[in-house]
């Protein structure tokens, strides 16, 4: 994947994919030969489907990036994208530098992600709080002699859970603009969920004040909402640059 990315003039591989194992090459010459042979297969041989996938990724209308971390088991890295009438889901295998690629419906990226992250069962409690991961305290706006507390009121009701009880966690984000660097966009919304030991899966409410029991259906709906917001942004951007020209999401 690094060789293909370089051949497209990209500085980094698709996020959140990453090198897990040490490089098998002892020097630049070995890597260069491997890359050249690989690209020949991609462009002219048996790996042509890989070129189709990467080309559509580079030109994607939008992509959904997902990273999963775990305490005592392998995590996960997934990317789903759609380009016109085609859609793909790519999953990096746990603890390996191997990615499996699947064709998926272009309108079904949320379902593809939600069905691949390994949710187990909804948590037992209607609402939980994780104080160590609570949003930063509201700021105080000082206007002359008066100090005004700005921001949301903290949520007090709910079962308190320690951060040490988190066994697994994941974050997913929809993006449509080209990435300037490898990583999540901290300026964009994201959906986060956790698995609590001896309990189940929970998903953060918007605003990250508390968590509620998570199901694959709810995760899909939340991801679909992120995608819908990006589709609206794409339409607005394209309408501004090409007034009067329709665009189909």
**84 band by pLDDT with thresholds 50, 70 and 90:** very high
- Quote the CA–CA distance of 178 and 60 in Å, as a whole number: 9
Q: At 142, give phi and psi (nearest 5°).
A: -100, 115
> Which of 213, 212, 214, 222 shows the shortest CA–CA distance to 190?
222
In terms of pLDDT, which residue wins out, 192 or 43?
192
Looking at residue 15, its pLDDT comes to 96
Looking at residue 94, its pLDDT comes to 81
Q: In the predicted model, what is the mean pLDDT of residues 75-99? A: 93
Write out 130-146 in H/E/C secondary structure. Answer: CHHHCCCCCCEEEECCE
Radius of gyration of the chain (CA): 21
pTM over 0.75, yes/no: yes
- Quote the CA–CA distance of 203 and 215 in Å, as a whole number: 8
- CA dist 198 → 17, 121, 158 (Å): 30, 11, 17
User: End-to-end distance of the chain based on CA atoms, in angstroms?
Assistant: 28
pLDDT tens digits, one per residue of 167-221: 999 999 999 998 889 999 999 999 999 999 999 999 999 999 999 999 999 999 9
Residue 101 parent element (H or E): strand 99-104
* Dihedral of alpha carbons 13, 81, 188, 132, sign: negative
In terms of pLDDT, which residue wins out, 33 or 153?
33
Q: Any residues with CB less than 8 A from the CB of 142 and at least 6 apart, and which?
A: 148
Looking at residue 244, its pLDDT comes to 54
Looking at residue 137, its pLDDT comes to 60
Orientation angle between helical segments 28-44 and 48-58, nearest 10 degrees? 90
Name the residue ranges covered by the structural domains of the chain: 1-136+157-241
State yes or no: pLDDT of 121 exceeds 60: yes
**119 band by pLDDT with thresholds 50, 70 and 90:** very high
Place of tokens 């079962």: 159
In terms of pLDDT, which residue wins out, 237 or 22?
237
């Amino acid at each position: 994947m690094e060789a293909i990315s370089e051949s497209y003039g990209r500085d980094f591989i698709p996020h959140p994919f990453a090198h897990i194992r040490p490089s098998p090459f002892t020097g630049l010459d070995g890597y260069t030969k491997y890359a050249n042979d690989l690209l020949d297969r991609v462009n002219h041989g048996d790996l042509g489907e890989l070129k189709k996938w990467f080309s559509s990724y580079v030109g994607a209308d939008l992509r959904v990036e997902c990273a999963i971390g775990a305490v005592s088991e392998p995590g996960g890295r997934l990317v789903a994208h759609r380009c016109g009438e085609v859609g793909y889901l790519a999953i990096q295998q746990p603890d390996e530098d191997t990615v499996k690629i699947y064709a998926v419906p272009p309108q079904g990226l949320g379902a593809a992600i939600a069905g691949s992250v390994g949710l187990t069962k909804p948590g037992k409690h209607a609402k939980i709080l994780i104080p160590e991961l609570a949003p930063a305290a509201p700021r105080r706006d000082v206007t002359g002699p008066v100090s005004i507390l700005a921001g949301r009121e903290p949520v007090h009701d709910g079962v308190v859970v320690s951060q040490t009880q988190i066994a697994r966690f994941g974050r997913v984000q929809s993006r449509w603009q080209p990435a300037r660097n490898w990583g999540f966009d901290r300026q964009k919304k994201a959906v986060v969920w956790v698995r609590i030991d001896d309990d189940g899966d929970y998903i953060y409410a918007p605003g990250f004040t508390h968590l509620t029991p998570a199901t694959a259906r709810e995760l899909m709906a939340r991801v679909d909402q992120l995608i819908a917001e990006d589709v609206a942004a794409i339409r607005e951007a394209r309408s501004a640059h090409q007034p009067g020209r329709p665009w189909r999401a």
